[in-house]
Structure formats: C-alpha cells, structure tokens
C-alpha cells in the first residue's frame, strides 16, 4: 500500500536527530518524525539528590514533561511516569547509588487532534529523544537502547508512524498505539543475535483483537530497529 505522502505502510516519516549542546546539562538531543512529532530532551546526572528521594542501592531516576504550551498537568505527569518505566530497563542505576538522574522532556509540536492529550507519534518521539540524550550524556551506564514507534489501523490497514492527517480521518482509525523496544547485545550473543524485546505498549483498539496487537508489534519492531540503527550511527 502506498500512502498519500508516498510512504509504504511499514515506513516511518523522515527521521531527524540532533544532539543539542544545552547549557548546564550533561546531555541533550532533539528527535522528530517528519515535522509534526518532535521533542527535545536533556539529561543531568549523576547529581546530588534530595535526602527524601535518596536510594542507598541505586540512583534515583526522575522524568518530567513540559508541554508545548500550558503547564504540566496530571496527564503529563502520568506520561512522564510511563516513559520512566519504559526507559529504566536500559539503565544501570546501581553504579551510582545515592545520586539523581534527571530527564526533562520538552514537546516541540502540539499533540494532534485525535481526542488524546498526547498522540502516539509524539510519545514515540519523546522516548527516542530521551534515548539519544542519555547516549549523548555518556555519564549513565546503559545495558541497551530503547526505541519507540507508533502504529495505527487506518482504513483497515495497519500503518507505521501514522501522520496527523491520517489519524484525523473521522471513523477510519479503529486501533492505535505506541510500542517501545529495548535492544542490546547480551553476554554470549554475537552482533547478529541482538536481544530485542518490547518493554512498553499502550495499544488500544476496537477491532482486530489479538492479531492486530501481534501484527502491530511486529511492524513497530521493524520500524524501531531502523530507528535504532540511526541512533547507533549518531552515537558513534
């Protein structure tokens, strides 16, 4: 299937990655899918942690989100908690106990008008920007890289990284979600045997059932694998 913007169903929008040199942070990065899903993130740490948040066995990992406009609300705080859980498996926090790793995410585009506070394409961009900022900082040991891609069923076809125009078609979007994967080379694995597992998903759908989830996850995994290759190229 060829989409209106010329992409195949399994293709993401053009990806742009930039490592920003923000002041007073240890690492920062921008990530975007096309021009309508972009995020800027910064990482500080390990830094001194408040006594109330101190953990004697590992670093405390905090994530906060700033919307493009308005102040963070309950939904923003909930999404920040979700992204923290998605990224945490990739971090080795036991190396720096009693310290703080602080990740700040700034949305650079508004959420599309899909009835959701945060659309899945923007959530995926936030997760990917966060991974790049962590890599850019280089101060937090990591066991893998987390990459995310959105998927939706539009006109009875599953599409990777749907655009706002595709998602805005009333009545035609029956299922959608974002899948985040962590990949890395574990002990005893060769470079061709990279571990690649789903660490988070928010899939919701009215039709297609379990098969939609399986197929959507497989499509997202391939898209995330391509994003991961881009991450590695930028990191190197």
User: Of 48-52, 121-125, 160-164, 223-227, which range is least confident?
Assistant: 223-227
The answer to whether 39 and 30 have CB atoms below 8 angstroms apart is: yes
Ranges 17-31, 50-64, 66-80: which has the least confidence: 66-80
Strands (E), the chain: 15-18, 27-33, 37-48, 60-66, 99-107, 145-154, 157-160, 173-184, 195-201, 204-205
CA end-to-end span of the chain: 34
Give the separation between CA 141 and CA 88, rounded to whole angstroms. Answer: 11
Q: What is the pLDDT at residue 19?
A: 93
Question: pTM above the 0.85 mark?
Answer: yes
φ and ψ of 149, to 5 deg: -145, 140
Q: What would the mean pLDDT of 147-176 be, rounded to a whole number?
A: 85
- pLDDT at residue 186 in the model: 56
CATH number of 15-235: 3.30.230.70
pLDDT at 141: 95
Residues 57 and 78: their CA atoms lie apart, in Å, by: 25
Percent of the chain at pLDDT exceeding 90: 62
pLDDT of residue 191: 47
Q: Which residues contact 170 (CB under 8 A, 6 or more apart)?
A: none
Nearest to 151 by CA among 127, 179, 125: 179
Nearest to 179 by CA among 203, 158, 157: 203
The pLDDT of residue 217: 93
Instruction: Pick from 38-42, 153-157, 187-191 the range whose average pLDDT is largest.
Output: 38-42
Tokens 């280089």, residue located: 138
What's the chain's average pLDDT?
A: 87
pLDDT in tens, 91-118: 999 999 999 999 999 999 987 655 556 8
Check residue 117 and give its pLDDT. Answer: 66
Section 155-182 average pLDDT: 85
Alpha helices in 67-208 (DSSP H): 74-87, 120-137, 164-167
DSSP state of 142: B
User: Does the pLDDT at position 38 exceed 50?
Assistant: yes
Return the structure tokens found at 156. 């009875």
The pLDDT assigned to 174 comes to 78
Q: Give the model confidence (pLDDT) of 8-26 as tens digits.
A: 999 999 999 999 889 999 9
- Grouping H, G, I as helix, E, B as strand and the rest as coil, residue 82 is helix
Give the integer Cα–Cα distance in Å for 80 and 103.
Answer: 10
pLDDT for the residue numbered 207: 60
| H/E segment holding residue 220 | helix 209-235
């Amino acid at each position: 299937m060829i989409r209106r913007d010329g992409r195949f169903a399994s293709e993401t929008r053009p990806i742009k990655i930039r490592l920003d040199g923000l002041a007073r942070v240890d690492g920062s990065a921008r990530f975007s899918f096309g021009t309508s899903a972009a995020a800027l993130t910064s990482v500080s740490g390990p830094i001194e942690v408040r006594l109330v948040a101190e953990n004697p066995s590992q670093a405390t990992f905090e994530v906060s989100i700033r919307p493009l406009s308005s102040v963070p609300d309950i939904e923003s705080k909930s999404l920040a908690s979700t992204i923290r859980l998605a990224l945490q498996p990739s971090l080795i926090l036991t190396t720096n106990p009693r310290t703080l790793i602080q990740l700040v995410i700034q949305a650079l585009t508004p959420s599309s008008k899909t009835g959701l506070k945060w659309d899945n394409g923007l959530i995926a961009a936030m997760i990917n920007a966060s991974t790049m900022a962590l890599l850019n900082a280089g101060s937090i040991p990591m066991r893998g890289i987390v990459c995310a891609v959105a998927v939706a069923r539009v006109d009875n076809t599953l599409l990777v990284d749907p655009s706002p125009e595709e998602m805005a078609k009333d009545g035609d979007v029956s299922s959608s979600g974002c899948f985040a994967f962590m990949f890395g080379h574990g002990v005893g694995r060769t470079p061709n045997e990279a571990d690649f597992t789903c660490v988070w998903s928010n899939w919701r759908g009215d039709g297609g059932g379990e098969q939609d989830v399986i197929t959507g996850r497989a499509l997202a995994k391939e898209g995330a694998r391509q994003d991961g290759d881009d991450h590695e190229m930028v990191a190197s």
